[in-house]
């Protein structure tokens, strides 16, 4: 009930860091144990060694950071598991993969008329207009590619689809559900999943742990038990098997190659069992072999799993091979919407990508 300057001082702020570092970051009970250890030892040392206790605590902090950077709790957890299951090594702790039976979004995939519907979507930042009058409809089982030069508004359009607060005007319907001003986690409930341009993975977690976290929205974790098998939808299992991630389930994400990280994030998104998949340049930085593999996976997801995929891509050769329809964005507007042959062979597209100046669109 009292606000004092020492509560925001350097010593107290440092102690907060020491508590977490000693107990173990990323754990719930670790910082509590670290707090008890530090405060108890501080109470004794400050009385018996009033001039040295801060130095001792500081040295202990340095030793923990250098010797056991994850803190005491993860180390205690490893020792406890080894004692509980003697002779068990890391290889035997890899969970077995299993296929889930139900599809939570099955009703959404078959309900309504359209997968995605946009009407006069606009986005501006003050006087800067990024998107203007974006209107199109995407059917289920369609692979739609959004192409255009840098700054055309492709990624901004992806943000508008996945976050109700992003657009400045217009309407967006996902599986005939009005997005309104809903936050991303609510829109995911309509059956949408988004993969970002830069792979977002949990570097310190293994592939299996990352996939478990991706499933927590549909399968709530238990506090005192762990599932023996890792149950995933068929689409995610296909990505894991095709890219070799099934042989790297015990590998930390930070040790994966760039292509494997991209595949892991795609598998994590598919673990949400979406009916609509948003992909922002999934082949960026990949080799030709990896691009061909990703392309075959995406086409199979559309043909055999009925997913609707919206793809942002610069590689027109890649777009030509996998797309069923292409939309060209330029300066925040749709300048062309048609089949692959109509768009890729269009003189208008060549003008846009060569940096030519387009004439104003006719009303």
Give the domain-ending residue among 35, 62, 88: 88
In a domain, 361, yes or no: no
**Which pTM does this prediction carry?**
0.78
Interval 323-339 mean pLDDT: 92
pLDDT for position 85: 56
pLDDT tens sequence across 105-124:
554 544 557 899 999 999 99
264 falls within a domain: yes
In the chain, the N- to C-terminal Cα span, in Å, equals: 67
Does 98 fall in a domain?
Answer: no
**Is the pLDDT assigned to residue 88 strictly greater than 70?**
no
- pLDDT tens for 12-59 read 777 788 888 888 877 788 888 888 888 888 788 777 787 787 788 788
Assess whether 61 and 175 both reside in one domain.
Answer: no
97 occurs within a structural domain: no
Q: Are residues 115 and 83 in the same domain?
A: no
The parent domain of residue 199 ranges over 106-353
* Domain closes at, from 88, 116, 133: 88
Residue 151, pLDDT > 90, answer no
State the CATH number of the domain containing residue 252. 3.40.50.300
Sheet strands side by side (includes 128-138):
128-138, 116-125, 169-174, 177-178
Any domain includes 220: yes
Instruction: Note whether 13 and 148 are same-domain residues.
Output: no
Q: Among 24, 56, 88, which residue terminates a domain?
A: 88
94 domain-assigned: no
Give CA–CA dist 205/218, Å, rounded.
20
Summarised one tens digit per residue, pLDDT across range 167-191 is: 999 999 999 899 999 999 999 989 9
Q: Are residues 275 and 174 in the same domain?
A: yes
pLDDT digits (tens, 9 = 90+) for 288-328: 888 888 899 999 999 888 889 999 988 888 888 999 999 99
Q: Give me the helix-helix angle, 234-243 and 288-305, nearest 10°.
A: 160
Residue 269's nearest CA partner among 350, 162, 341, 174 is 162
Domain count, the chain: 2
| Average pLDDT of the residues of the chain | 84
324 and 269, same domain (yes or no): yes
């Amino acid at each position: 009930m009292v606000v004092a300057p020492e509560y925001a001082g350097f010593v107290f702020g440092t102690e907060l860091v020491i508590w977490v570092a000693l107990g173990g970051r990323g754990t719930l009970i670790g910082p509590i144990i670290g707090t008890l250890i530090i405060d108890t030892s501080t109470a004794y040392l400050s009385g018996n060694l009033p001039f040295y206790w801060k130095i001792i605590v500081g040295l202990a902090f340095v030793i923990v950071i250098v010797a056991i950077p994850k803190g005491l709790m993860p180390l205690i957890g490893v020792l406890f598991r080894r004692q509980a299951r003697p002779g068990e090594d890391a290889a035997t702790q890899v969970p077995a993969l299993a296929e889930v039976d139900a599809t939570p979004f099955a009703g959404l995939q078959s309900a309504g008329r359209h997968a995605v519907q946009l009407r006069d979507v606009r986005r501006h930042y003050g006087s800067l207009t990024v998107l203007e009058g974006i209107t199109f409809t995407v059917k289920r089982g369609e692979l739609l590619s959004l192409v255009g030069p840098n700054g055309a508004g492709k990624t901004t359009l992806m943000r508008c689809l996945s976050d109700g607060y992003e657009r400045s005007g217009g309407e967006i319907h996902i599986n005939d559900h009005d997005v309104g001003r809903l936050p991303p986690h609510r829109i995911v409930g309509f059956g949408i999943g988004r993969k970002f341009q830069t792979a977002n993975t949990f570097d310190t977690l293994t592939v299996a742990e990352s996939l478990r976290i991706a499933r927590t929205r549909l399968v709530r974790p238990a506090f005192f038990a762990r599932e023996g098998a890792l149950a995933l939808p068929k689409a995610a299992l296909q990505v894991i098997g095709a890219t070799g991630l099934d042989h790297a389930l015990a590998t930390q994400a930070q040790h994966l190659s760039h292509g494997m990280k991209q595949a892991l994030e795609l598998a994590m998104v598919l673990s949400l069992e979406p009916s609509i998949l948003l992909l922002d340049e999934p082949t960026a930085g990949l080799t030709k072999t990896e691009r061909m593999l990703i392309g075959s996976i995406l086409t199979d997801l559309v043909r055999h799993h009925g997913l609707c995929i919206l793809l942002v891509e610069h590689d027109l050769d890649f777009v030509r091979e996998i797309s069923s329809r292409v939309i060209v964005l330029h300066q925040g507007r749709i300048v062309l919407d048609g089949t692959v042959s109509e768009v890729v062979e269009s003189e208008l597209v060549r003008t846009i990508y060569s940096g030519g100046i387009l004439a104003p669109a006719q009303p």
